[in-house]
Amino acid sequence: MNRWTPPGHWPPRWPDVTDPAVLRAVAEVPRHLFVPEKYRAEAYEDRPLPIGQGQTISQPYIVALMTQALRLTATSRVLEIGTGSGYQSAILAQITPHVWSVETLAELAATARERLHGLGYPVKVKAGDGRLGWPEHAPYDAVIVTAAAPDVPPALVAQLADDGRLVIPVGEGLWDQRLWLIEKSVGRLRARVLAEVRFVPLVASSSRPEPEDEALAEIRRELNELLNRG
C-alpha cells in the first residue's frame, strides 16, 4: 500500500469551498508528488510546505479558495503566474486542459514542467517574468497569481477576456497581504477582497520595470483607484 495515499477525509471540509469540481480536483491531485521527499509525510496536512529556492507549495485551503473564485469550466482558458512545484497548475488542469503557467525561476519551471507532463497534466510552462503574463495565448478567462505582488500588474488585466476573473494576493509585507478578486466586464473592472493571506513575494526577472503604453497606464490608474477604495 502506498503510504502517501491521502487520508479518507481528504480534502478537509472547508465551509467556504463548495464547488464540486474544485473539491474533486483537490481530492484527485497527489500532493505528495509535488513536495520534496523529506516533507511527504506532511503532504496532506492543510498547510504550506517549502519546495526550495525560498518558495513554498501553498496551503490546500488557499489553493481551493483561489481556484473556486475563478469559476472555471472545462473550456476555460487559464493563465497561472508562479508555477512553483506545479501543484496549483495540476489542480487547474483537473478542471480544464487549457492552462498556461509562467515561472520566473528557470530551474523550478523545468522541474514543474517535467513533473506535470510525467503525471499527464497538459500544462504549458515557460520561464519568464510573470508580471508580463503570456500575451501570445491571450485572452484568458481566468488569471491566477500564486505569489504576493506589491500591486496588480496591468498586463495581466489586459490579457483577461471580457467577463474574465483575476485572483491575486497583493501586499508588500508578509503580514499585510490581501487576496483580491478582480473582474472585467464590458471593459470595466470590479474588485473585492476574498481573504487575508500570507504568500512569498512574486519574483521579478528584472529589477527594471517594463515601459507601459497608454492603455496599460490607464489600467494601472483604474486598478490603483479600485484597490485604494477597497
Q: Does any domain span residue 209?
A: no
Amino acid 14 reads W
Q: Does any domain span residue 228?
A: no
C-alpha cell at 158: 489586459
Provide block-wise average pLDDT over 10 residues at a time, the chain (230 residues): 66 96 97 96 95 94 98 98 97 98 96 98 96 97 96 96 97 86 93 93 71 88 86
Q: Does any domain span residue 156?
A: yes
CATH code of 52's domain: 3.40.50.150
| pLDDT confidence of residue 175 | 78
- Range of 109's domain? 20-204
| pLDDT confidence of residue 153 | 95
Q: Does any domain span residue 215?
A: no
Summary count for the chain: helices (H), strands (E): 6, 9
Which residues have CB under 8 Å from 76's CB, separation 6+?
A: 70, 95, 96, 98, 141, 142
58, 76, 85, 101: the active-site residue: 58
Question: How many domains would you assign to the chain?
Answer: 1
Model-wide pTM > 0.85: yes
- Report the 10 Å Cβ neighbour count for 189: 17
Q: Does any domain span residue 223?
A: no
Q: Based on the residue annotation, tell me whether 76 is a catalytic residue of this protein.
A: no
Q: Does any domain span residue 74?
A: yes
Mean of per-residue pLDDT scores for the chain? 92
Condensed to tens digits (0 to 9), the pLDDT of residues 89-118 reads 999 999 999 999 999 999 999 999 999 999
| pLDDT confidence of residue 1 | 34
| pLDDT confidence of residue 135 | 97
Say which DSSP state 148 is in: B
Q: Does any domain span residue 121?
A: yes
User: What does the alpha-carbon distance between residue 192 and residue 22 come to, in Å, rounded to a whole number?
Assistant: 21
Q: Does any domain span residue 33?
A: yes
